[in-house]
């Protein structure tokens, strides 16, 4: 039964799922209608997930009462229990014995409060979030090159003006279909080992071996230089470091790159010539290029290509990362990352610590330093030097982390696991305490979409009785630990604005009223009268000298190559009907009907070689575990590669947790597997 708040005639809000954050209205019967005043989906489009999002609100599996060791208890009982256990664990093992794990779907207000809770109420350095698994490589590469990471540093509507868009490792036609409407004009070049729905729309599809995008990007830039197509004027005026990169590319001649990647030289040449001839062009990267143990270098190589073409910082051209999770952008700006304070500040920067500590009313020296990155944190749980307790918000790592069986073992070894969830996710099912919390349309808060546009999700409906917000949980625990935290999202956002002031992601001029009136505001927005910054690099980049930096990088093989025991590459990705770990979408009947079960996609030649036919159940094994899945046969995939979607238990039992040295991103997108018929 829901609470007593009235449901307005139609409330303007945004979709609960991906980073496009399509605008939608929710009517009294929870009917969803697309809004046409939000540029991301001004065409009136929503995908299947968005149209059915209202069903999440009435889902019969909804959690409505706190659970302590599986038994329903009063809120105060659960909060007292958790606070007492946290105090005891901290007293025995020190503050870093408690870990906090957040999510890229949390509102800015929650992500901010989570970071503050970890550093102030718990005093732990052990906080990170699942966004580390999504955009961290692109973020690291953008900071190196441009001095700032704002996924797409231009409005999404700019894409339509381009002649050509190169998309490396993204399948927007399935993951965020309304995005496609912005690229129907430009010719598209798609780089993907699969002929995805997006690749089918492309003018040119380059189909590299998994794990070789970096070599391909180096080969493309080598060709651009060899054909004398570099925008020398732009390079001289707006960049540094090109000569070093030019020298570093000498070994990446096209025939060698063809041998490594499998992409024919004439295709590479076509791509390079088309990009150079374009009046306006974009290079975009997605998880396919980024989720590698060399993801930062791969994105850097694509940024080098974009710089040599003269694209970033020009109106109608540029480089951008297509962020995935709903608040993947804002979630990486306000302090739930291991190395970060609000406003995209570095936690080891003395001035940043001083400023944020001042807002929080604590001494700067009381703030802990950087902690472990997401996978390293999960891997350390329950070990002698690792955390003994974990608070988990908006994440389901038992399904979504690499080497998921190992991660489940580590979580299982904790003395205390606490989750905040609105349905019983696979990870929540392992928890000692589960707090039932509000979801998207039951609460107000801001989200920052893939453009860096801060949007307002309005509460459209009262939550079921017994359900509270994550902010209430954090404030309830903070109070028991001797601190006072805000629970009103407006108050929290005001504090976030002050904490972000002067940082790279400066929200201090943004208010709920402005977001409503202006249909979103782009950061940085340092003053109330500031118009926001849709295109931050037009005049200069955010580097000390205002120039973008070329950074030399070299290709290297995947962390795990195929061999006799594991002779096939596996890559992973999403399907249209499901989102992330599927905890939400696997509970919506029409989405389950559209995509009911895990599958593995094989090329017909590989299927014949393995004596496997469509519909067979096979066992897919890697060095880390095995999974069963139904076979689909398709010539859209390379002969040497299989594909598994990651929305169900299974795919991530196989994936490789090898980490990028800079971003600490795991290598989700390539590992070596064996496929056998299940006897």
Ramachandran quadrant class, 340 (left: phi over 0; alpha: psi -120 to 50; beta: rest): beta
Q: How far is the CB of 34 from ligand SF4 (least distance, A)?
A: 8
Number of residues that bind ligand SF4 (CB under 6 A): 14
**In the complex, what is the shortest distance from the CB of residue 323 to ligand SF4, in angstroms, rounded to a whole number?**
11
Complex with ligand SF4: residue 13 or 511, whichever CB lies closer: 13
468 binds ligand SF4, rule: CB under 6 A: no
Candidates 47-55, 122-130, 306-314, 625-633: pick the segment binding ligand SF4 (CB under 6 A).
Answer: 47-55
Instruction: Answer positive or negative: Cα dihedral of 327, 333, 337, 342.
Output: negative
What single DSSP character describes residue 2?
B
Which one among 50, 54, 328, 342 touches ligand SF4, defined by CB under 6 A? 50
Residue 328 as a binder of ligand SF4 (CB under 6 A): the answer is no
Q: Assess contact for 673 and 600: CB atoms under 8 A.
A: no
Residue 620 touching ligand SF4 (CB under 6 A): no
603 contact partners, CB below 8 Å, separation of at least 6: 633, 634, 635, 637, 638, 639, 641
* Residue entry with tokens 């002969």: 639
Task: Please state the closest distance from residue 54 (CB atom) to ligand SF4, in A.
Answer: 12
Tell whether residue 584 is a contact of ligand SF4 (CB under 6 A): no
Q: Which residue has the tokens 């992973």?
A: 572
Report 192-211 residues binding ligand SF4 (CB under 6 A). none
State how far the Cα of 166 lies from the Cα of 174, in Å rounded to an integer: 17
Taking a C-beta distance cutoff of 8 angstroms, is the pair 266, 206 a contact? no
Q: Please say whether the beta carbons of 509 and 528 come within 8 A.
A: yes
Q: How far apart are CA 285 and CA 298, in angstroms?
A: 9
Question: Nearer Cβ to ligand SF4, position 113 or 585?
Answer: 585
In the bound complex, which residue of the shown chain has the CB atom lying closest to ligand SF4? 50
List, in sequence order, the alpha helices (H) in 432-534. 470-480, 489-500, 512-518
Q: Residues 12-31: x/- map of binding to ligand SF4 (CB under 6 A)? A: ---x-xx-xxx---------
Sheet holding 389-393, edge to edge: 71-72, 67-68, 433-436, 416-421, 389-393, 98-102, 127-129
Q: How large is the angle between the packed helices 136-146 and 295-308, nearest 10 degrees? A: 40
CB of 35 to ligand SF4, least distance (A): 11
Question: Which residues, 148 to 187, sit near ligand SF4 by CB under 6 A?
Answer: 176-178
Q: Which is nearer to ligand SF4, 18 or 152 (CB)?
A: 18
How many C-beta atoms lie closer than 10 Å to residue 9's C-beta? 8
Q: Cβ 130 to ligand SF4, closest distance in Å?
A: 17
The CA distance from 273 to 189, in Å, is: 12
Helix 254-261 / helix 265-277 crossing angle, nearest 10 deg: 120
CB closer to ligand SF4 out of 447 and 633: 447
Closest CB 16 distance from ligand SF4, rounded Å: 7
Contact segment (CB under 6 A) with ligand SF4 among 42-50, 78-86, 516-524, 653-661 equals 42-50
Site for ligand SF4 contains 100 (CB under 6 A):
no
- Is residue 39 involved in binding ligand SF4 (CB under 6 A)? no
CB of 450 to ligand SF4, least distance (A): 10
Is 49 a residue that touches ligand SF4 (CB under 6 A)?
yes
Q: Does 134 bind ligand SF4 (CB under 6 A)?
A: no
Measure the CA–CA gap between 122 and 481, rounded to whole angstroms.
Answer: 8
Of 56 and 83, nearer to ligand SF4 (C-beta) is 56
Q: How far is CA 205 from CA 118, 192, 371, 655, in A?
A: 45, 7, 41, 26
Contact stretch for ligand SF4 (CB under 6 A) within 41-49, 360-368, 388-396, 645-653: 41-49
Which residue, 177 or 318, has its beta carbon nearer to ligand SF4? 177
- Residue 53 or 417 having the CB closest to ligand SF4: 53
Residue 101 as a binder of ligand SF4 (CB under 6 A): the answer is no
The residue (of 210 and 328) whose beta carbon lies closer to ligand SF4 is 328
Site for ligand SF4 contains 441 (CB under 6 A) = no
Residue 46 contacts ligand SF4 per CB under 6 A: yes
Cα separation values, 666 from 125, 149, 410, 657, Å: 21, 20, 17, 5
| Rounded Cα gap, residues 560 and 405, in angstroms | 18
Q: Which residues bind ligand SF4 (CB under 6 A)?
A: 15, 17-18, 20-22, 41, 46-47, 49-50, 176-178
């Amino acid at each position: 039964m829901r609470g007593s708040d009235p449901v307005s005639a139609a409330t303007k809000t945004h979709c609960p799922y991906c980073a496009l954050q399509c605008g939608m209205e929710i009517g009294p019967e929870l009917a969803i209608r697309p809004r046409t005043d939000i540029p991301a989906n001004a065409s009136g489009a929503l995908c299947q997930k968005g149209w059915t999002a209202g069903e999440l609100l009435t889902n019969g599996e909804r959690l409505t009462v706190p659970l302590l060791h599986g038994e329903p208890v009063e809120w105060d009982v659960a909060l007292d229990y958790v606070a007492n256990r946290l105090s005891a664990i901290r007293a025995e093992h020190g503050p870093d014995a408690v870990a906090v794990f957040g999510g890229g779907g949390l509102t800015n207000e929650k992500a901010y409060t989570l970071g503050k809770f970890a550093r102030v109420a718990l005093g732990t350095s052990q906080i990170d979030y699942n966004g580390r698994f999504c955009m961290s490589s692109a973020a690291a590469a953008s900071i190196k090159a441009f001095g700032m990471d704002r996924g797409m540093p231009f409005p999404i509507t700019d894409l339509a003006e381009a002649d050509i868009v190169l998309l490396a490792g993204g399948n927007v036609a399935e993951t965020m279909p309304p995005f496609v409407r912005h690229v129907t004009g430009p010719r598209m070049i798609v780089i993907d080992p699969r002929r995805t729905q997006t690749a089918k729309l492309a003018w040119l599809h380059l189909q590299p071996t998994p794990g070789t995008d970096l070599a391909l990007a180096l080969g493309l830039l080598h060709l651009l230089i060899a054909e004398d197509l570099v925008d020398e004027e732009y390079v001289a005026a707006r960049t540094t470091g090109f000569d070093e990169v030019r020298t570093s590319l000498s070994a990446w001649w096209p025939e060698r790159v063809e041998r490594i990647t499998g992409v024919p030289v004439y295709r590479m040449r076509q791509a390079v010539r088309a990009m150079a001839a374009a009046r306006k062009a974009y290079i975009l990267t997605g998880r396919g290029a980024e989720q590698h143990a060399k993801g930062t270098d791969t994105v850097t190589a694509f940024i080098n290509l974009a710089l040599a073409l003269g694209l970033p910082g020009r109106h109608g051209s540029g480089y951008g990362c297509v962020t995935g999770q709903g608040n993947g952008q804002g979630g990486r700006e306000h302090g739930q990352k291991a190395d970060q304070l609000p406003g995209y500040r570095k936690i080891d920067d003395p001035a940043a610590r001083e400023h944020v500590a001042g807002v929080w009313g604590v001494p700067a020296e009381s703030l802990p330093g950087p902690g472990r990155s997401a996978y390293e944190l999960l891997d350390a749980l329950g070990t002698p030097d690792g955390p003994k307790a974990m608070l988990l918000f908006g994440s389901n790592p038992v399904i979504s982390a690499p080497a998921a069986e190992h991660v489940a073992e580590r979580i299982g070894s904790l003395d205390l696991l606490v989750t905040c969830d609105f349905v019983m996710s696979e990870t929540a099912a392992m928890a000692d305490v589960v707090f039932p919390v509000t979801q998207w349309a039951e609460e107000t808060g801001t989200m920052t979409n893939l453009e860096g546009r801060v949007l307002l999700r309005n509460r459209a409906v009262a939550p079921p009785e017994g359900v509270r917000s994550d902010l209430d949980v954090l404030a309830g625990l903070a109070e028991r630990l001797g601190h006072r935290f805000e629970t009103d999202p407006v108050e929290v956002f005001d504090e976030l604005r002050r904490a972000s002031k002067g940082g790279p992601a400066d929200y201090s001029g943004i208010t709920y009223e402005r977001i409503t009136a202006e249909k979103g505001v782009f950061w940085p927005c340092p003053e109330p009268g500031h118009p926001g910054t849709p295109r931050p690099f037009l005049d200069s980049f955010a580097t000390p000298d205002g120039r973008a930096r070329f950074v030399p990088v070299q290709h290297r093989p995947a962390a795990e190559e195929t061999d006799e025991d594991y002779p096939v590459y596996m890559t992973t990705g999403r399907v249209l009907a499901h989102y992330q770990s599927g905890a939400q979408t696997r509970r919506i009947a029409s989405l389950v009907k559209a995509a009911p079960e895990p599958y593995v996609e094989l090329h017909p030649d590989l299927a014949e070689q393995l004596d496997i036919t469509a519909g067979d159940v096979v066992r897919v094994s890697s060095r880390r575990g095995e999974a069963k899945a139904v076979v689909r046969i398709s010539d859209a995939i390379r002969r040497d590669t299989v594909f598994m979607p990651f929305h169900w238990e299974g795919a991530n039992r196989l994936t490789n947790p090898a980490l990028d040295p800079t971003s600490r991103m795991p290598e989700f997108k390539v590992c070596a597997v064996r496929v056998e018929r299940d006897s």
